[in-house]
């Protein structure tokens, strides 16, 4: 028996936090490198024969198409994560995601390989989508199921900050390439490949860190008692399909807003030489990098705040901030000054972080233990399709159709309103016991559309005391 169990538990929690942050950062770096490159170079290198405007739409569509395959990854990872454990899935997704990203860095362009080049690019992007669909659920469950109940929001926000960290790294490396290492034509010739190939180094680091972490205590309890659900997906949709839909819509509003920056639209719009802004690539990428750092801060703040005022209340505050910042964002970008572009992005990250930080804890608390991996993964994947999958494409099409960004702002506010509606229909179950012994209470209505115990009838009151 360890001499100091509390010290050992604390050390294990720190390892879990490190593993979820490092692994998630690497996988989202892989994901965002593609989105950034799509807005900067893929239209020219892989889709140019379609014409300038159509090529850009195709490049953004290739960003979105991967989201259609996220549910497949979520189904696969959810099934095996609920059957064989969280940790094994995290290692597998990390290795395969890194391999797909590195392969993109070695691809021939349309000029060299013809139509085979964009086809292979799309296949690798689809593989990224499948893997991203499985990554998130495992990472957040490792963090939340290892956390003490009073700190689930904060610890659940740790894998969440892997997203802005991945974006920060992706846009930072791209800025380094476009501004200093391979500016101008060199970036189109070979510089864009370097950020993809750097994924090889990151895979090794992430693999070592994730292998060092203990399995989730909730899954260990399930495994010891042999209480794994035979077909978790079927059980999930038979009993909790309303919950899956509402959880997906809660995320959709955030994801649509997030992919205005992470999906490459703002970068492409602000750097388009024939557009109304016409800024240089490198300053815009640096502004996006700095805004990612702020997004990280507000994501952590959102997780921390949700431990104090509740998950649902934090979402209401966050979505309110997003709505208030949407029109100012595009107005500030349209000034054509890098300082005001950054200010617009900075304002936008407040609501973005507050509606992302609490998500891991809230998702984990509304799904019962035997189907939790499936529930959080599929809800996240569906929310990504409904929200972020094609938001850069929709935004680009709206700009081309209307000649301005007003319609884009209205679209984002509509998505935020949808998120608020779904948030109002979910119960806040902060503090509920996540273990298998509390499955009966976990099965009680997590939405106001279902019958629930009296203790779960009000927001911000734990379902079990």
The predicted model gives 20-30 an average pLDDT of 87
Task: Give which of 235, 246, 247 is closest to 439, Cα–Cα.
Answer: 235
What's the pTM value of the predicted model, to 2 decimals? 0.87
Distance CA 249, CA 354 (A): 16
Rounded Cα distance between 345 and 329, Å, is: 6
pLDDT at 225: 81
Residue-wise pLDDT for 121-150, tens only, equals 999 999 998 988 888 888 999 999 999 999
Q: Is residue 440 packed enough to be buried (19+ CB in 10 Å), middle (13-18) or exposed (0-12)?
A: exposed
242 has a pLDDT exceeding 90:
yes
- CB burial of 408-425 (b: ≥16 within 10 Å; e: otherwise) equals bbebbbebbebbbebbeb
Give Dmax over CA atoms of the chain in angstroms. 69
* CA–CA dist 422, 410 (Å, integer): 19
pLDDT for 231 equals 87
pLDDT tens-digit series, residues 345-395: 999 999 999 999 999 999 999 999 999 999 999 999 999 899 988 888 899
- Would you say 302 and 354 are in contact if contact means Cβ atoms under 8 Å apart? yes
- How far is 206 from 208, CA to CA, in rounded Å? 5
Tokens of 215: 């399995």
Counted residue by residue, the chain has a size of 465
Q: Which of 8-17, 34-43, 282-291 has the lowest mean pLDDT?
A: 8-17
The CATH class of the 6-456 domain is mainly alpha
Q: Which of 190-194, 248-252, 394-398 has the lowest mean pLDDT?
A: 394-398
Percentage of residues of the chain with pLDDT beyond 90 = 62
Contact 160, 135 (CB under 8 A): no
CB 131 within 8 A of CB 354: no
Phi, psi of 24 (to 5 degrees): -65, -40
| pLDDT of amino acid 6 | 57
* pLDDT-derived band at 8, boundaries 50, 70, 90: low
Q: What is the mean pLDDT of residues 222-246?
A: 88
Distance CA 363, CA 378 (A): 11
* Confidence category of residue 424, pLDDT binned at 50, 70, 90: very high
Give every CB contact of residue 450 below 8 A, 6+ residues apart in sequence. Answer: 242, 444
460 band by pLDDT with thresholds 50, 70 and 90: very low
Phi (first) and psi of residue 453, to 5 degrees: -65, 155
Of 212-216, 274-278, 356-360, 391-395, least confident by mean pLDDT is: 212-216
**pLDDT tens digits for 56-112?**
889 988 988 888 898 999 999 998 998 888 888 888 888 999 999 999 999 999 999
Write down the domain spans for the chain: 6-456
115: exposed, middle or buried (Cβ count in 10 Å: 0-12, 13-18, 19+): exposed
CA distance 153 to 359: 8
């Amino acid at each position: 028996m360890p001499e100091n169990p509390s010290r050992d538990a604390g050390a294990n929690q720190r390892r879990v936090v490190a593993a979820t942050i490092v692994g998630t950062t690497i996988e989202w770096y892989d994901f965002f490198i593609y989105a950034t490159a799509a807005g900067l170079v893929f239209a020219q290198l892989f889709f140019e024969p379609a014409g300038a405007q159509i090529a850009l739409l195709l490049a953004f569509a290739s960003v979105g198409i991967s989201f259609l395959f996220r549910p497949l990854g979520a189904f696969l990872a959810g099934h095996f994560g609920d059957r064989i454990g969280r940790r094994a899935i995290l290692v597998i997704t990390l290795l395969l995601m890194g391999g797909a990203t590195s392969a993109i860095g070695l691809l021939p362009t349309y000029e060299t390989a013809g139509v085979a080049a964009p086809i292979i690019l799309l296949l690798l992007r689809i593989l990224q989508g499948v893997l991203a669909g499985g990554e998130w659920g495992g990472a957040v469950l490792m963090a939340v199921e290892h956390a003490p109940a009073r700190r689930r929001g904060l610890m659940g926000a740790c894998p969440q900050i892997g997203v802005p960290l991945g974006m920060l790294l992706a846009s930072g490396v791209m800025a380094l390439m476009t501004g200093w290492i391979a500016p101008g034509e060199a970036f189109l010739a070979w510089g864009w490949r370097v950020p993809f190939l750097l994924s090889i180094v990151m895979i090794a680091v992430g693999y070592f860190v994730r292998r060092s972490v203990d399995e989730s205590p909730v899954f260990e309890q399930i495994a010891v008692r042999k209480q794994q659900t035979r077909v978790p997906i079927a059980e999930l949709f038979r009993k909790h399909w309303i919950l899956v839909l509402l959880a997906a819509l809660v995320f959709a509003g955030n994801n649509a807003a997030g992919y205005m920056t992470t999906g490459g639209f703002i970068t492409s719009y602000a750097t388009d030489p024939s557009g109304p802004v016409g800024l240089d690539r490198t300053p815009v990428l640096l502004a996006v990098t700095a805004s990612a750092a702020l997004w990280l801060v507000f994501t952590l703040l959102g997780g921390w705040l949700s431990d104090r005022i509740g998950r649902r209340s934090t979402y209401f505050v966050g979505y309110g901030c997003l709505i208030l910042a949407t029109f100012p964002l595009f107005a500030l970008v349209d000034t054509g000054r890098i300082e005001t572009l950054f200010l617009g992005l900075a304002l936008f990250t407040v609501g973005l972080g507050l509606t992302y930080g609490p998500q891991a804890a809230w998702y984990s608390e509304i799904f019962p233990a035997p189907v939790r991996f499936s529930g959080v993964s599929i809800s996240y994947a569906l929310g990504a399709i409904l929200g972020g999958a094609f938001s850069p494409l929709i935004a680009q099409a709206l700009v081309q159709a209307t000649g301005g960004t007003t319609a884009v702002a209205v679209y984002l506010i509509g998505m935020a309103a949808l998120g608020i509606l779904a948030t109002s229909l979910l119960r806040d179950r902060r503090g509920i016991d996540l273990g298998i012994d509390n499955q009966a209470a976990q099965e009680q209505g997590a939405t106001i559309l279902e019958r629930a115990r009296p203790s779960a009838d009000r927001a911000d009151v734990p379902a079990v005391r």
